[in-house]
A = this chain, B = another copy of it.
Amino acid sequence: MEIRITKNDAPKQKPDENNLGFGNYFTDHMFVMDYDLEKGWHDPRIEPYGPLSLDPSAMVFHYGQETFEGLKAYRNDQGNIQLFRVMDNLNRLNQSNERMCIPTLDVEAMFQGIKELILLDGDWVPSQPGTSLYVRPFVIATDPFLGVRPASTYKFLVILSPVGAYYKGGLNPTRIYVEEYYVRAVAGGTGFAKTGGNYAASLKAQVEANEKGYNQVLWLDGKEHKYIEEVGTSNAFFKIDGKVYTAPLEGSILSGITRNSTITLLKDWGLEVVEEKMTIQQLAEHHKAGRLEEAFATGTAAVISPIGVLGWQGEDLVINDNQIGEVSQKLYDTMTAIQYGKVEDEFGWVIQL
């Protein structure tokens, strides 16, 4: 695949690496491809990062036909750039695309676009500890048309954002509110897809949880409002009596790549991992009986995020004395060590650019 490159001749000043936050800054270029019925996905190109010009009737503004991914590029100790499990993200984008009736993309073509884009904007990959370059591939429906049907034109883009730690506090235990009213997803819906509507649907619960003094919500299933699903935009894990539990992949939760890495590492360490449904009631009973040893959330943005408190039905269940658990810490340390190339990658997760 030949990628047409138009260089940005007015590069921006780079932000202070110690104060990046998350998702605030974007690099000098972006990767773009277009889709139409005749040509399929075509015209792969790298352009100066800049505004999209879209008809106000563009379907994405009205009917939310959009998908995205999120992964990170890291600067390793040798100064080189490496990607973590990028192929898994690109395959998941296609799973999301299929659910949302968006034409799938060639995984190799997407990878090549991401690679060339990152190499071109390589100076933007930060090197301060804990920083990385967040990579955001996404697809939007662009037909200038009002009416509910799959679009026939799309844009695929990749934009890059140098980021710091996702949570300001770093690896600090979070306060999580168990959401019993609002629902994020249900079987037969789009919960397993990374599509805008799932996130838009989650905002209200998140805002209300923040107002109550919690960082995020724990989602329960949409059917019975009792089975534990996810924490905000991360997967949820619970260490109970030495075993580690997480919700099974049954269509309503995202198949998190950090979830998968976590399970792989835990098993590698000889821990038993149980992917089974668990009710919030059961979890609370384990807590009461002193069996809930650790709880943590997993996701690309924050990697591992220990859960210190679960707010449920007016009570705060404090987990592990509101301290970072041993397994949470070890997962964080191991995963980030692999991501930053500080230890050998036994699992084939890392691709050096």
Contacts and interface: CB of A to CB of B under 8 A. Distances in A.
Interface of A: 22-24, 26, 30, 49-58, 60-66, 68, 70, 99-101, 134, 136, 138, 140, 144-150, 157, 159, 161, 181-184, 186-190, 195-204, 206-207, 222-225, 232-233
B196 A196 contact: yes
Given A61-B138, A62-B68, 5 more contacts: A22-B147, A51-B55, A52-B58, A134-B146, A183-B187
Given A62-B66, A64-B196, A203 B52 contact: no
Contact of A56 (B51, B57, B63, B201): B51
B222 A189 contact: yes
Stoichiometry, as copies per complex, reads 2
A153 to B, nearest CB: 14
A161 B57 contact: yes
A188 B195 contact: no
A138 B62 contact: yes
A159 B101 CA distance: 26
Given A182-B188, A188-B225, A202 B148 contact: yes
Contacts of A224: 223
B186 A190 contact: no
A176 to B, nearest CB: 15
A223 B54 contact: no
A53 B51 contact: yes
A304 to B, nearest CB: 18
A187 B49 CA distance: 41
Contacts of A207: 101, 150
A36 to B, nearest CB: 17
Contacts of A199: 62-65, 148
Closest 6 CB pairs of A and B: A197-B197, A64-B196, A23-B146, A183-B188, A64-B200, A63-B199
Contact of A206 (B24, B149, B222): B149
